Amino acid sequence: MSGAARLLPGPIGVVLFLALWQIYCATSGISPLLLPTPLQVLRAFVEVMGEAPTWNHLSYTLGETLAGFGIALVVGVVLGWLIASSLLLERAVHPFVVASQIVPKVALVPLFVLWFGFGPTSKVVVSAVIAFFPIMTNTLLGLRSVDPGHDDVFQALRATRWQRFWQLQLPSAMPAILAGMEMAVVLATIGAVVGEYLGGSDGLGYFAVATMNAFQTDRLFAIIMLLTLMGFILYLAIAALRRVILPWQRKAVGE
């Protein structure tokens, strides 16, 4: 496939989708309170972005997301490493790990609001709890997937436990950890927004609920767009980080 042939289907698909949406709104006579047209959404987006409170809400949500993600990253990697290095610990925490995977974590949000109040803390906690899981499991998986041949090399060289961790286990686990981080950053965003839905008076989640209550559906769509954009940019940041940390994984030129 030539470059153009590979790149075009994406934009064409989006344009086609927007066109169908516009036509549907125009012909079905659906109320803009239920479904605004793409053009109305775009107008609302420009309007919303021009208002100062939007940026306050955005920075609030972004702050919570990053804090939750940061906590999830540290706790997830450390716990994954602890579990990977002790079979006993793995047996002990396994039931909790499985349970925490099964519990619909969103259902715990009211509990966190109860414990940590309506301020940012409860949202950071929700965000961290939801994002933590893929990081921990991927760290565990990655640390366990050390190539036995590489292990032989370190053993023959009489490497210390510490050297083995930093120079063998961690680099071996890095691709898996980064894949976990990609998932986690999206989940952290969801966690923060869901937390804001249920309590408090700040953040894009709160802003969305308030807008909905005011029946400003076009503005609600605009906020959803903004949230999507934020999540997407965070995801791209992790993808860029992957390219910096794992240059050896980059595809050969011409591939």
Binding site for another protein (CB under 8 A): 147, 149-150, 152-159, 163, 167-168, 171, 174, 246, 248, 252
- Check residue 168 and report its DSSP letter: I
Contact in structure between 10 and 185 (CB atoms under 8 Å): no
Q: How far is the CB of 245 from another protein (least distance, A)?
A: 9
CA distance 34 to 98: 40
> Nearer to another protein by C-beta: 50 or 148?
148
> Nearer to another protein by C-beta: 29 or 149?
149
Q: How far is the CB of 169 from another protein (least distance, A)?
A: 12
Neighbours of 55 (CB within 10 A): 11
> Nearer to another protein by C-beta: 59 or 145?
145
Q: How far is the CB of 86 from another protein (least distance, A)?
A: 22
> Nearer to another protein by C-beta: 34 or 156?
156
CA distance 223 to 55: 11
Neighbours of 215 (CB within 10 A): 9
Half-sphere exposure of 200 (CA within 13 A, CB side): 31
CA distance 133 to 225: 26
> Nearer to another protein by C-beta: 6 or 158?
158
Q: How far is the CB of 180 from another protein (least distance, A)?
A: 18
Q: How far is the CB of 60 from another protein (least distance, A)?
A: 38
